[in-house]
Amino acid sequence: MIWETVRLSLRSIRRNVLRSFLTLLGIVIGVAAVIAMLTIGSGTTEKVKADISKLGSNLLVVRSGRPAGPGGPGGLDQVVRPLAEKDLAALVAHLTGARVISPASQKQVRVIFGTESLTSGVTGTDSAYLDARDWKLVSGRPFSDSETRSGTGVCLIGETVRQQFFGSGDPEGEIIRVNRTSCKIVGLLEPKGYTGFGQDQDNVVLMPLHAYQRRIAGNRDIDSIYIAADDRTPTSELQPRVEDILRDARRITPDRESDFAIRDMTQIADAMASATATMTGMLGAVAGVSLLVGGIGIMNIMLVSVTERTREIGIRLAIGAHEKHILIQFLVEATVLSLLGGIIGILIGLAFAGLASVTLTIPFAPNPAVILLAVGFSALIGMVFGFFPALRGARLDPIDALRHE
Amino acid sequence: MASGAHLITFDKVWKSYGQGEAQIHALAGVDLAIKRGEFVAIMGPSGSGKSTALNIIGCLDTPTAGTYSFMGIDAGRLDRNRRAMLRNLYVGFVFQGYNLLARTTAAENVELPLIYRGVAARERRDLAMQALAQVGLVGREHHTPAELSGGQQQRVAIARAIVTRPTLLVADEPTGNLDTARTHEIMELLTKLNKELGLTITMVTHEADVAEYAKRTIRFVDGRVASDTAKLEVAQP
């Protein structure tokens, strides 16, 4: 009986191809919008997560200035006291549960090779930095300990810097000018691509911290300290230890707030991901409104269909159809119609999301649960908005219906 | 006992529309009895109540007052769905305008009442073919109404009416849209079904020569039975 009715409704949809298509359009656009939004959204979430994990996993980053909060970092009541060599030394001496501790200072500096020039993020650090940031070398070698200690003019460059100066050629052994000093390229960093915020992570030059401090910054400050937790220690456990050691090293009395901030990258990753997810949900909800409009379209066309087929309903009632038969017939028709729209919408939405993932370089992340939900929801819309017209058809008086011209 | 002997009985049946002063009585206290196997023509001027009476006979409509009994069942007091069930089981309908589903083949049109009965597809097809054979339409099963002549369409409608092997056939001006030759063909078909299957037929018509095919003619005037004459020359079996 149901199968019979589905066949019947498919035939009636085929009979009015153009009208059926126009009716479908509302649902198609609605579902396509929802699917595209949610798929692009979850792709973006993945991208953000991946970007943050590129900064290094299980990573704490210490910077000078007060922790974010009321007043913000480096409030007006105190001059920001930079991190210093002795803070780093205290961490190295006392911190347990850390795999890597690495200092870094950075600055945007003009880098020159031959006649070409480029403004790059130049970072002074040590060889452990690569480990902390989970960064590998494509070729060459990291700085040696002696180079780090003595502040020799050697450097590692990112992919963007290589492209600018050497194209696809081998940069090793070449000498570039960074600010007013020169340094020899000893290695090429693995490309990391752009962050979710459009920052080129490959436009970098790394050099030993002492070389940076002496030749570029002109001071002994450390901007940040990267601390990677070992495998057994969660960052949440490591963080208070770091804080204690630094407060002690910086002689901060218990009644005063810390003048440095510790950022837990894992937490930031989670926060970013949940923010993107919220955004995605909101966009999806907006797109969902268009589904509602599609549903009203279905209702409209089903009312027309019932009126147009009043005589047919009369015949069916006269030869013994019950109210429920007529109800089911039109309900199935509306459901099949909107389900069809839903499926077309899903295909278009996925195609759109696929296109977006290529142009925005985010991962294509279709969510089976969302797709299933869209199918179910479009069927539900057909049922809900088809119910009133179907009921109207089922309640017709057979005598009046037969008389209808 | 009367309901046992008669397929159809009207006991002071009234059908009224409107309220108070403006009230109109389509049927004003009709008494009527039709036995199984009868072939009855119902005649009368328009507005005489003949169509209303036919709708009540076919369980499409219910009286405002009085009792309509069909096969001994008080059909006038049944709800919509029960009357639909009665129609599906015992009544076949033939209309003036054929009332076939457009863009649907003859066979599918004939199968329609069987679908609502829950008959399986294969059996439906067989029964539909049989019914189409009975009305002389073998070879036209896959034609749609638009590809059939008026007479052929009415034959499909008759096949649809008899496919359920009903007790009663209700025909509303079955030849109203047909020319003389086609009219006689259809009437001969109905006569044959009445004789061979023992099918009870009640038919509304306003053409005297069509009414001639019936064994009994009931004439309505102003909502009442004005005359009720049986054809004497036809012997009842």
State ipTM. Answer: 0.90
**pLDDT tens track for B156-175:** 999 999 999 999 999 999 99
Max mean pLDDT among A254-258, A263-267, A385-389 falls in A385-389
* pLDDT score at A54: 66
Q: What is the signed CA dihedral for A366, A371, A372, A374, rounded to 10 degrees? A: 160
Q: Cβ separation of A322 and B117 shorter than 8 Å?
A: no
Please tell me what DSSP assigns to residue A32: H
Q: Name the residue ranges covered by the structural domains of chain B.
A: 2-229
pLDDT band for B144, please (50, 70, 90 cuts). Answer: very high
* pLDDT score at A55: 65
* pLDDT score at B3: 41
Residue written as tokens 């009709």?
Answer: B30
Range A336-346 average pLDDT:
90
Q: B221-225, long-range: CB within 8 Å, 24+ apart, which pairs? A: B221/B44, B221/B45, B221/B48, B222/B28, B222/B48, B222/B49, B223/B15, B223/B25, B223/B26, B223/B27, B223/B28, B223/B30, B223/B48, B223/B49, B224/B27, B224/B28, B224/B29, B224/B30, B224/B49, B225/B30, B225/B31, B225/B32
* pLDDT score at A73: 47
CA A19 to CA A148: how far, in whole Å? 75
Does A294 lie at the interface with B, CB-CB under 8 angstroms?
no
- Least confident window among A40-49, A151-160, B71-80, B188-197: A40-49
Q: Cβ separation of B84 and A321 shorter than 8 Å?
A: yes
CA dihedral sign, ordered B161, B162, B165, B167: positive
Phi and psi for B231 in degrees, rounded to 5?
Answer: -80, 115
Per the document, the length of chain B is 237
Q: What six digits make up the tokens of A375?
A: 């199918």
Distance in Å, alpha carbon of A377 to nearest chain B alpha carbon: 30
* pLDDT score at A71: 45
**Better-predicted residue by pLDDT, A267 or A117:** A117
Q: Which residue of B has its CA nearest to A5?
A: B115
Does A35 lie at the interface with B, CB-CB under 8 angstroms?
no
Q: Which residue of A has its CA nearest to B61?
A: A399
List the CATH code of the domain at B2-229. 3.40.50.300
Task: Examine the pLDDT at A87 and tell me if it is beyond 50.
Answer: yes
* pLDDT score at A77: 47
| Cβ A123 vs Cβ A223: under 8 Å | no
Distance in Å, alpha carbon of A318 to nearest chain B alpha carbon: 7
Report H helices in A119-262. Answer: 128-132, 145-150, 159-166, 209-212, 235-249
For chain B, percent of residues with pLDDT exceeding 90 = 84
Q: Which residue of A has its CA nearest to B87?
A: A320
- Least confident window among A9-18, A75-84, B21-30: A75-84
